[in-house]
Amino acid sequence: MGKYMYDQSRAPIYEALERFREMRVVPFDVPGHKHGKGNPELTAFLGEKCVGVDVNSMKPLDNLCHPVSVIREAEILAADAFGAANAFLMVGGTTSSVQSMVLSSCKRGDKIILPRNVHRSVINALVLCGAVPVYVNPDVDRKLGISLGMSVDQVRKAIRENPDAVAVLVNNPTYYGVCSDLRTIVKLAHEAGMMCLADEAHGTHFYFGDGMPVTAMEAGADMAAVSMHKSGGSLTQSSLLLTGERVNAGHVRQIINLTQTTSGSYLLMSSLDISRRNLAQRGKAVFRKVTEMAEYAREEINAVGGYYAYGRELINGDSIFDFDPTKLSVHTRDIGLAGIEVYDILRDEYDIQIEFGDIGNILAYLSIGDRMQELERLVSALAEIKRRYMKDSYGLLSQEYIAPEVVYSPQEAFYANKKSVPLSESEGYICSEFVMCYPPGIPILAPGERITREILDYIVYAKTKGCSLTGPEDPMIENINIIREEEKISWNSGSVNAMPRMLSTACV
């Protein structure tokens, strides 16, 4: 089997479900649709084969909370395929993988060093466990307006100033495809007695393609959250949590079971099983084609003019240590359109759904299911959009990342006494909820951060351009929850006298 220790042609959960289907078992258990017979409309929509294997845990099919047979075999095969000591099947999306990773590493009051351009799920985990973030503000590409990776010097400085931190978390890669120097960051963390965690939601293909950036497990990271349903081809909401040799797998399983469902979906688990087998057997050839398609698309889009489809030419050896060659990230500002405007036009007028658009960029997500003819259609549509809609870029915002001022830990702010105020009157207050564009789900504001004029201008601009803003209690994002104080605190003067237990750690 080459680099693998186990037979990667196996798919134990899938095989067990096939055996179960042949047995024609009479169900007096849940789910209540009873192999689809009780819900004919659902069966007609999803198909008899699908609902027929939407079953509950039973001895022949194992149990996700305490796997001892087919699910355990699937986990061992996944760990082998990804080069990990252990792998856990996750059915709550990579959000649950990230949260389990953080909750396994941190408890209330612990410091964790991380970039501020993390996915919401990371900060959600801090709300749950009470850990304190020490943010390393990422470098920013001023032309593209995107946040980059963490520089090694910034990580080293954060570790030196916070020797009591318990972990360092790294995006590998960012949404745009940017990778930090993961090997060096792992080394720095371990030398300081800290764990190193990797959010690899967008890095599944790193484990199987040639010429890809280093994977978390290769780099020696302790844990990695891997979004199999993104570039790996499994069903939406299915994910993996990988751990290295230094991690107590039994403890991680206990942490996972605190929040993950006790009724694991066999549709999701079998999709992980089958997709892992597919990647182990065919991933190298498949991702070579994906990379070639991305390279072709970058060349064609750049030849159109006005757009900038960026790639490995950005690598600077530090904050852009490497770049994901499958990412088709395109800067749109020079044709006078925000990324979200191009996103909307592609969907509404060309029936092309891309991954996301923000104020300056779009991302077309390429993976194992894409074909060249669809890519040609995208390139043609972008050329036509430029011809039809190009205008002067005057007045367009260019900055995607605004460095926050952290005053409270996310948990303290989220659970503090709060009140709702109009967004337009919130400057200077401390936010007690999230505000973000989704996708990508990176918070513009997180609980415990001060609301500044620059942030408010960004939110208003993003709303105007049509970004999908989520997070606040107010679905219209007209009001925002702030920590209740007797009087407004001026962020210009930095007065924090009214605030108990203010964080002593600052952003790096």
Mean predicted lDDT score pLDDT of the chain: 92
Overall pTM > 0.75: yes
* Whether residue 491 has pLDDT greater than 70: no
Q: How far apart are CA 9 and CA 140, in angstroms?
A: 44
The answer to whether the beta carbons of residues 122 and 375 sit under 8 Å apart is no
Handedness of CA 158, 159, 163, 164 (dihedral sign): positive
CATH topology of domain 12-281: Aspartate Aminotransferase; domain 2 (3.40.640)
The pLDDT tens digits of the residues spanning 315-348 come to 999 999 999 999 999 999 999 999 999 999 999 9
Mean pLDDT score, 496-501: 35
Outline where DSSP puts E strands in 189-267: 195-200, 223-226, 239-243
Pull the structure tokens for residue 451: 């609301």
Same fold, 12-281 and 284-389: no
Encode pLDDT of 434-486 as tens digits.
Answer: 999 887 888 999 999 999 999 999 999 888 888 888 999 999 999 999 999 74
Domain boundaries, the chain: 12-281, 284-389, 402-508
Q: How far is the C-alpha of 58 from the C-alpha of 119, rounded, in Å? A: 35
User: 195-200 and 223-226: which strand pairing?
Assistant: parallel
Q: Following DSSP, what letter does each residue of 253-266 receive, concatenated?
A: HHHHHHHS-SS--H
102, 104, 110, 114: CA torsion to nearest 10: -30
Predicted confidence (pLDDT) at residue 497 exceeds the cutoff of 90: no
What type of residue is 427? Answer: E
What is the model's pLDDT at position 437? 87
DSSP secondary structure string for all residues of 327-359? -EEEE-GGGT--HHHHHHHHHHHH----SEE-S
Question: For residue 52, which amino acid is it?
Answer: G
Q: Which of 90-94, 141-145, 357-361 has the highest mean pLDDT?
A: 90-94
Task: Write out the CATH class of domain 284-389.
Answer: alpha beta
Mean pLDDT confidence for 68-90? 98
Report which secondary-structure segment, H or E, holds 282. helix 266-304
| Predicted local confidence at residue 400, as pLDDT | 66
349: pLDDT confidence band, cut at 50, 70 and 90? very high
CATH architecture of structural domain 402-508: Alpha-Beta Complex (3.90)
DSSP 8-state class, residue 59: G
Q: Which pLDDT score is estimated for 169?
A: 98
**Confidence band, pLDDT 50/70/90 cuts, at residue 90:** very high
Residue 500 has pLDDT above 70, yes or no: no
